[in-house]
Each structure stands twice: as structure tokens, then as C-alpha cells.
Structure 1
Amino acid sequence: MGRISEATDNLYNKDVRVLKEVQEANIHLLYASRAQMGLLAASTMESVTPMPKTSRQP
């Protein structure tokens, strides 16, 4: 029974890690989409404001 519990814990931990990574990727996609919309809406390059740097690199 202990092996089943350990295997379940390992599977859960992997799933949680993957879900966190997907969430972070979605946030990066949101920032990229916002930046693209800003570029498309800008009439000149001087009116484009740079995006803030994130603490983690993708």
C-alpha cells in the first residue's frame, strides 16, 4: 500500500509542477499579446512604451 501512496504523491507533484509551468507560460503569452496589441495600435515607434522586465526568464 505504501508504494501506491508514494506513486500517487509523485504523480500529484508532477501534475502540480506542470500546471504551474502552464500557468506561467499563459502569463507570458498574455504579456506578448498585450505588447503586440500596443505595437499595432501605436501610430509611431516613439509612442511605443517598453514592457517591464520580468523577474524570471522564460
Structure 2
Amino acid sequence: MQDFEKKVEEAKKLLEKLNDPEIKLSEAMEYYKKGIKLLEEASEMIEKAKLEFQEIK
């Protein structure tokens, strides 16, 4: 699950960048899009892990 952890960590870093009051709107939108994509990918990984766990049970 290291990929999952990397995705979440990268999303956190993007969130920190979004909190910068000097950020340009275009940069903010790009960081936001990247962050949402990372979190969606992480969420898919969790769902896949849940299905695999249920199959094992």
C-alpha cells in the first residue's frame, strides 16, 4: 500500500500549497485538480482492497 501512502502524502503537500495566500488562481486550480485526482486514485485503492478482503473472508 505504499502507493496509497504516497498519493495521500502528495495530496497533503498540494493542500499546503493551496493555503498559501500568494498563490495564483491558475496554480491553485492546477493543484486542486491534481489533489482531487490523487485522492480519487487513493479511494479506488481502498475500495479494491476492501473487495479483496471480502473475497478472502
Query: When the two structures are superposed, what TM-score results if normalisation uses the length of structure 2?
Result: 0.59
The one-character-per-residue Cα deviations of 1:6-54 (angstroms, maximum 9, x if unpaired) are: 80000000000000000000100010000000001xxxxxxxxxxxxxx
Structure-2 residue corresponding to 1:12: 29
Q: Which has the higher contact order (CA 8 A, sep 6+)?
A: 2
- Which runs of 5 or more residues in structure 2 are unaligned? 1-22
Q: How many residues align?
A: 35
Query: When the two structures are superposed, what TM-score results if normalisation uses the length of structure 1?
Result: 0.58
Structure ID, larger Rg: 1
The alignment-based identity, stated in percent, is 11
Q: CA RMSD in A?
A: 1.3
- Which runs of 5 or more residues in structure 1 are unaligned? 1-5, 41-58
